[in-house]
Every structure is written in C-alpha cells, then in structure tokens.
Amino acid sequence: FDKLKEGLAKTRDSLTGKVDQILSFSRPVDEELLEELEEALIMSDIGFQTTTDIINLLRKRIKEKKVSDAEEVKKLLKEIIIELLGNEVRNILPEKTLAVYMVVGVNGVGKTTSIGKMAAYLKNKGYKVMLAAGDTFRAAAIDQLEVWGNRSGIDVIKHQEGADPAAVIFDAIQSAKAKKIDVLICDTAGRLHNKKNLMEELRKINKIIERECPDAYKQTLLVLDATTGQNATIQAKQFMEVSDVNGIILTKLDGTAKGGIVIAINNELKIPVKMIGVGEGIEDLQEFDPTAFANALL
C-alpha cells in the first residue's frame, strides 16, 4: 500500500490537493461546489464522460442522504469511485493451466518490462512460467526479454529477428507442453501504425494457440502507459478493433499526475485494469485493488 501511495503521489498532489481545497472550509454543499469538483476530476484525466457519471451519482447521493457537510462529500466521492471500479482485487493469476497470455501494446508503453515483471510475479506465486519472444520485428525486444528471463531464471523461447512470430509461438507452445509450464507469456509486435499487418499477425498467433492448445486458459492483455492520459483510452480502442482484450496492464502510474485514467479506462472501456506499474523495478507491478487505489488517491 505504501508503494501504491508513493506511486500515486503526483496524482494525489494534483487531485487530492484540489479536492481537499474545495472541501476544506465549511461551505454549503451546493451546485457551485459540485462544479468545482467536476473541474478537479476532469483535470486529473478521469475523463469527461466518467466525471459526469461521478458528479451525477454524487448529486443524487447528497440529496438522498441530505448531506450538508463538505467532509462527508469526500467520503461519498471515494465510495462512488470504488463502486465504479468494482470492488474486487484483480490480478493475472491463471484460472487453470496451461495458461497462454498474449501481451499487446505499442512500443514504448512498457510492454517488455511488464512482461518481465509479470513473469517474476507469477513465479513468486508458485507458477512455472515461460516467455515467448513474439516481437521479432525488433532485435532489441528479443534481447531485452532475454535479460528479464535471465534475471528471474525463466526460459525464453526465441527465433532470429525477422522470423515469423507465429512460428515462435508454435515452438513455445510445444516447449511449454513438454516442460509442463503453467503460464506461457507471449510478447507481440507493437506496430499499431501498421494496423492491417498487426491484425493479421495477431490473428495468426491466435489461430496457432487455438489449434495447439484449445483447452488452455487464454488471455489477451493490453499494456497502456498512464502518462499518456486520455490518449491511452484512444490507443485501447484501436487495439480493441484488432483483438479481444481481456485485461489491461497500466504502466508508469508513478510518473504521472494523470492517475485518474484508471477510472476512465474501467468506466469507459469496460475492460478491467488488472495490474498497475508503479516503478521500474521487478517488484513494481501490483495487483489492482480498487479500494486501496481509492484510499491512496483520496
């Protein structure tokens, strides 16, 4: 929780600072107060639609509960945020094994780093993990994945740069089966600007996974960079056009005042944020706990 609170420091400074200011002195709980809150929420990248939803709910609750104390409004606001996020802790633990996770996201969002952290997280939980270097477009991506694998003592299946990604995934699946791996995490290329190729590539990989292990627990996880704020939502929508996304890994929450984006993603995309990145270290990927998040935020 401390790491989460520390990670959200910038968001807290901007959002909580303003919210506290608005609610600090004894003033009437009226439309003007709600308008000021609305502005503070929008500024922290909670998004226009989600902010409107929150403020409407808040107005309704204030009326229902006849709230006249500004401090009470903060409590209601926190409650509403937890409700919107859904009140259960999320993670990427497999529902059964073999599990095959395809990780997608544009270059630079922290995809490789997140895969490295995910692998370590799952290994710590007792699962046997393997990585597949499916981003064959960049030699650096393959090397980087290997560095993470070596660091955690986890096998990395790779081909040469330029190889067919589907062939890498095919080999990885055979190896995972032979070695009785629990979770196979597959890196993929992040070339969203070449949508048609990317879609074709992901479709081909999906087909291989479907054919080689039809009973596997399959997940497509999208990595998004919180520092890009509302652009992350736009990026997510583009990826949702090329593949079925089951969950989101939101990175770099520690480096941004735009942490409100977590709430926008959950509310507008209806895809659960499953893990959050709060630093560059191997242990800096956390399960997403809506209650802890709201408490760290407000």
* Under rule CB under 6 A, residue 152 binds ligand GDP: no
For ligand GDP, give the closer residue by CB, 167 or 282. 282
Range 56-83 burial, b when 16+ CB lie within 10 A, else e: ebbeebbeeeebeebebbbebbbebbbe
| Spatial distance between the Cα atoms of 101 and 221, rounded to a whole number of angstroms | 7
**Which one of the spans 22-30, 58-66, 67-75, 102-110 is the region binding ligand GDP (CB under 6 A)?**
102-110
Give the binding range for ligand GDP (CB under 6 A) out of 81-89, 108-116, 160-168, 267-275.
108-116
**Within a 13 Å sphere around the CA of 28, how many CA atoms are in the beta-carbon half?**
3
User: Can residue 149 be called a binding residue for ligand GDP (CB under 6 A)?
Assistant: no
Name which position in 91, 107, 175, 291 contacts ligand GDP (CB under 6 A).
Answer: 107
In the complex, least distance from residue 298 CB atom to ligand GDP, rounded to whole angstroms: 22
Q: Give the residue with the Cβ less far from ligand GDP, 22 or 278.
A: 278
Residue 183 three-state SS: strand
Nearer to ligand GDP, 6 or 280 (CB): 280
State CA 251 to chain mean position distance: 7
Give least dist CB 192 to ligand GDP, A: 12
By CB under 6 A, residue 38 contacts ligand GDP: no
* One-letter identity of residue 29: V
| Among the listed residues 74, 90, 111, 274, the single contact to ligand GDP using CB under 6 A | 111
Q: How far is CA 156 from CA 65, 152, 175, 285, in A?
A: 57, 11, 10, 20
What is the size of the binding site for ligand GDP (CB under 6 A)?
17
Which residues, numbered 233-292, are part of the site for ligand GDP (CB under 6 A)?
251-252, 254-255, 277-280, 284
Sign of torsion over alpha carbons 189, 190, 191, 192 = positive
Which residues make up each annotated binding site for GTP?
A: 105-112, 187-191, 251-254
The residues that touch ligand GDP, with contacts defined as CB under 6 A, are 105, 107-113, 251-252, 254-255, 277-280, 284
